[in-house]
Amino acid sequence: MSGCTAPIRGHRTASGLAACPVCGGRGYGYRAPVYYFSSNSYAPQSGYISNGSHVGSSARPRWSPDTSSVTYTKDEVRALTPVRNAIESRTQLPPESYDVFLCHAWDDRRGIATELHDRLQTQGVSVWFSEKSIILGQPFLREIDKGLAKSRVGLVLVTPAFLERIRSGGVSEKELSALLARDLLFPVIYKTTFDELRNVSPLLASRNGLDANEDPLEDIVTKIAELVTFENS
């Protein structure tokens, strides 16, 4: 039996509420979302232009253009602002660098991971993706290390398969450990929840990011593209 897609944090958007198999169509109101921040780099910071006065109202981050087609919650802006600040501070990158390092489960490589990679590339985002960036015969873990060093930020695609990989100590865990050590990452939740992630990796769950259960994937892609794009890039 399907459960609520946001049982603790609550639905942040009308589309998320409507898509929920439990709450959709029943006239339930929004519940105030609960967000968790680590004590250092993810403390709330000012980084948005408010479009409303109440908690949970929409906001536009300073890096999002006026012509943007997507809206952000204040909590999304607070979560992504430290990531943007870290990206802006990385002025020295090796040649042939990437905007995003895509960390994903092996089982997702030909499904949602490929779809996310392809959609990001259509928006001009360069992505280090193992399926495309590692040539057959190259040392896998060494190439991952190189990809991490060449990327501005890490995107962790959190799916049910990813959670299983962490539990079993797969390659995803090795990539994740390197990203967590640098404080240059944000999660994208897909077909699971932050609460499920918290049961497996409380530290990663404390780094709030984007939730594909609440927003269409195309909006998620646009938000990622805006996050890593510079006016002079």
Q: What is the residue extent of each domain of the chain? A: 1-34, 93-228
Pick the range with the lowest mean pLDDT from 83-97, 101-115, 217-231.
Answer: 83-97
For the chain, the average pLDDT equals 75
Q: Among 33-37, 62-66, 71-75, which is the least confidently predicted range?
A: 33-37
pLDDT band for 226, please (50, 70, 90 cuts): very high
Cα(126)–Cα(80) distance, integer angstroms? 19
Handedness of CA 184, 141, 134, 158 (dihedral sign): negative
Tokens 């990531």, located at residue = 83
pLDDT at position 33 over 70 = no
DSSP assignment of 129-187, as one string?
-HHHHS-TTS-HHHHHHHHHHTEEEEEEEE-HHHHHHHHHT-HHHHHHHHHHHHT-EEE
- Higher-scoring residue by pLDDT: 208, 5: 208
* pTM score: 0.71
For residues 182 and 180, what is the distance between their CA atoms, to the nearest angstrom?
A: 5
CA 51/CA 48 separation, integer angstroms: 9
Given a cut of 90, whether residue 124 has pLDDT beyond it is: yes
- At 106, is the pLDDT very low, low, confident or very high (cuts 50, 70, 90)? confident
- pLDDT grade, residue 211 (50/70/90)? very high
Which DSSP helix (H) or strand (E) runs through 218? helix 217-228
2-11, 102-111, 127-136 — which one is most confidently predicted on average? 102-111
pLDDT range class, residue 141, cuts 50, 70, 90: low
pLDDT, average across residues 181-199: 88
pLDDT at 26 (0 to 100): 46
The residue-averaged pLDDT of 19-31 equals 49
Q: What are phi and psi of 72, to 5 degrees?
A: -120, 150
With a CB cutoff of 8 Å and minimum separation 6, the contacts of 43 are: 37, 82
Sheet containing 72-73: give its strands across.
Answer: 48-50, 58-61, 72-73
Q: Residue 44 — pLDDT band, cuts 50, 70, 90?
A: very low
Q: Which helix (H) or strand (E) holds 127?
A: strand 127-128
For residues 18, 218, 188, 185, the Cα torsion angle rounded to the nearest 10 degrees is: -150
Tokens at residue 180, please?
């967590």
- pLDDT band for 221, please (50, 70, 90 cuts): very high
Mean per-residue pLDDT, 170-198: 81
Q: Which of 30-39, 152-161, 176-185, 186-195 has the weakest average pLDDT?
A: 30-39
Answer for the pair 197, 121: CB distance below 8 angstroms, yes or no.
Answer: no
The predicted pLDDT at position 68 comes to 93
Between these two residues, 106 and 224, which has the higher pLDDT value? 224
Cα(122)–Cα(179) distance, integer angstroms: 25
Question: How is domain 93-228 classified at the architecture level of CATH?
Answer: 3-Layer(aba) Sandwich (3.40)
